[in-house]
């Protein structure tokens, strides 16, 4: 497809990127060391490094590393990945390490979100309630769609968490452990994924594990948010193309692994994409400085009838992904030409898209479903990261 290429120059200070990543850190009595694992690495390589580290996982924000090539596709665009320093926790060691290898990037971000809630409240451990708020904060995929059905927002969830948990002593360890209950639900989420024939653990599986066990603290949070606790598992299974009681049967939707047919209940864009425009509207992005010229150029290219696919090329850290975020913020603020006012910028997660595609044609089928949804919606701009790979 025809594209317009713009070279993004380096700036003195590399702008922020997304903070989705983790590091597997393990200790040996004689030599403690940490293995940094960027979420942008291929899953096989990440697993190899995680096994070498052999320790427990913690996820913590740090400096960002943007992608080497980001692209906007037609009425369509991509994101960056951050590398996060993750200190070794005191819980679970090698068993926790093996467990987190099965987590998708979105599920790992749930864990990161939960640890951030622990820091925010000055608590010394990650509780089940924090894990639940972590799922709500991720706000993507099936779990995000189900929570949006009940008009649940991160702000309301945090208010509920604050009233139930309250502020702690403020003495937060650098290596935040999980409470026994939180560890149990993380482990149970793997079983929930296996029941649904899923290859990786997603936020929806963590949500199922928490709700099905009827955890008292989590139930209080959901009740204050007016969520129908009994209906949520049914909603999740329906989104995956199943009925309650059929968890052991193979899924039919785009996440099923065999992907021959797309369930009408599963939206491919919801499952494999993240709405940057929505995130901007909810105030989840920081202001962008110093990329106005590139954003204006992207707007001009997107306005074309043909050759309307800007591709941004530059060294890691110069702010290619930040241009996409900046455009999303402009749309959210209404500071764009009329032809972009109703547009949504969706970041496509290629890792999720490729996950579980072991049969011929599965990836192509998923991509066809996404493109079909984009064409039907008429207002989606897809963003694809690392398009050169």
- pLDDT value of position 203: 92
User: Comparing C-alpha atoms, which of 284, 348, 349, 347 is closest to residue 113?
Assistant: 284
For residue 200, the domain's CATH number is 1.10.1780.10
Residue 196 CB partners (closer than 8 Å, separation 6+): 205, 237, 240, 242, 247, 251
Q: Could you tell me if 87 and 174 are in contact, meaning their C-beta atoms sit under 8 angstroms apart? A: yes
- pLDDT value of position 227: 92
Q: Could you tell me if 254 and 264 are in contact, meaning their C-beta atoms sit under 8 angstroms apart? A: no
Q: How many CB atoms lie within 10 A of CB 309?
A: 22
Alpha-carbon torsion (187, 142, 213, 179), positive or negative: positive
Collapsing DSSP to helix, strand or coil, 344 comes out as strand
Burial environment of residue 174 by CB neighbours within 10 A (0 to 12, 13 to 18, 19 or more): exposed
- pLDDT value of position 21: 41
- Alpha-carbon distance of 215 to 210, in angstroms, equals 6
Expressed in angstroms, the distance from the first to the final Cα of the chain is 16
Q: How many CB atoms lie within 10 A of CB 47?
A: 17
Task: State the residue range of the domain holding 352.
Answer: 4-385
Residue 313 CB partners (closer than 8 Å, separation 6+): 5, 6, 7, 8, 69, 320
User: Comparing C-alpha atoms, which of 328, 322, 350 is closest to residue 341?
Assistant: 328
- pLDDT value of position 197: 79
User: Comparing C-alpha atoms, which of 132, 236, 124 is closest to residue 175?
Assistant: 124
Q: Could you tell me if 90 and 177 are in contact, meaning their C-beta atoms sit under 8 angstroms apart? A: yes
- pLDDT value of position 167: 85
pTM over the 0.85 mark: no
Tokens 């402009």 sit at which residue?
A: 330
- Alpha-carbon distance of 384 to 347, in angstroms, equals 6
- Written as six digits, the tokens of 315 are 């060294």
- Alpha-carbon distance of 225 to 208, in angstroms, equals 17
22-26 β-sheet, strand order: 33-37, 22-26, 57-58
- pLDDT value of position 133: 93
Residue 339 CB partners (closer than 8 Å, separation 6+): 303
Count up the domains in the chain and report the number. Answer: 1
Paired strand residues for 72: 383
* Secondary structure letter of residue 23 according to DSSP: E
Residues of the chain with pLDDT below 70 are 1-98, 241-266, 388-389
Question: Contacts for 190-197 with beta carbons within 8 Å, 24 or more apart?
Answer: 190/99, 190/102, 193/102, 195/247, 195/248, 196/237, 196/240, 196/242, 196/247, 196/251, 197/249, 197/250, 197/251, 197/256, 197/257
User: Comparing C-alpha atoms, which of 67, 95, 96, 74 is closest to residue 8?
Assistant: 67
- Alpha-carbon distance of 276 to 371, in angstroms, equals 18
């Amino acid at each position: 497809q025809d594209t317009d290429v713009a070279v993004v120059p380096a700036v003195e200070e590399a702008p922020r990127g997304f903070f989705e990543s983790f590091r597997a850190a393990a200790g040996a009595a004689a030599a403690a060391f940490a293995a940094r694992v960027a979420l942008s690495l291929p899953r096989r390589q990440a697993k190899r490094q995680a096994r070498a580290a052999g320790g427990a996982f913690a996820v913590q924000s740090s400096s960002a590393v943007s992608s080497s090539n980001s692209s906007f596709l037609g009425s369509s665009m991509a994101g960056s990945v951050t590398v996060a320093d993750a200190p070794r926790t005191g819980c679970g060691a090698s068993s926790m390490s093996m467990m987190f290898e099965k987590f998708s990037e979105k599920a790992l971000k749930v864990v990161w979100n939960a640890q951030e809630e622990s820091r925010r409240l000055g608590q010394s451990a990650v509780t089940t309630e924090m894990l639940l708020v972590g799922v709500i904060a991720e706000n993507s995929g099936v779990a995000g769609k189900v929570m949006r059905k009940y008009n649940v927002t991160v702000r309301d969830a945090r208010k509920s968490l604050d009233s139930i948990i309250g502020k702690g002593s403020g003495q937060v360890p650098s290596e935040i452990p999980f409470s026994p209950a939180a560890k149990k639900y993380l482990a149970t989420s793997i079983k929930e994924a296996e029941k649904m024939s899923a290859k990786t653990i997603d936020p929806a599986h963590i949500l199922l594990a928490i709700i099905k066990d009827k955890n008292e603290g989590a139930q209080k949070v959901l009740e204050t948010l007016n969520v129908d606790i009994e209906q949520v598992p049914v909603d999740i299974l329906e989104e995956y193309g199943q009925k309650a009681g059929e968890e052991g049967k193979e899924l039919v939707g785009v996440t099923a692994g065999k992907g021959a047919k797309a369930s009408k209940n599963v939206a491919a864009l919801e499952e494999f994409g993240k709405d940057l425009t929505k995130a901007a509207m909810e105030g989840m992005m920081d202001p962008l400085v110093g990329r106005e010229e590139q954003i204006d150029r992207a707007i001009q290219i997107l306005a074309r009838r043909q050759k309307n696919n800007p591709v941004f090329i530059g060294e890691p850290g110069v702010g290619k992904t930040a241009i996409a975020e900046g455009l999303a913020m402009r749309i959210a603020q209404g500071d764009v030409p009329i032809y972009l006012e109703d547009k949504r910028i969706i970041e496509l997660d290629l890792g999720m898209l490729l996950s579980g595609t072991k049969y011929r044609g599965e990836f192509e089928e998923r991509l066809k479903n996404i493109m079909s949804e984009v064409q039907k919606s008429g207002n989606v701009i897809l963003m694809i990261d690392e398009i050169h790979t």
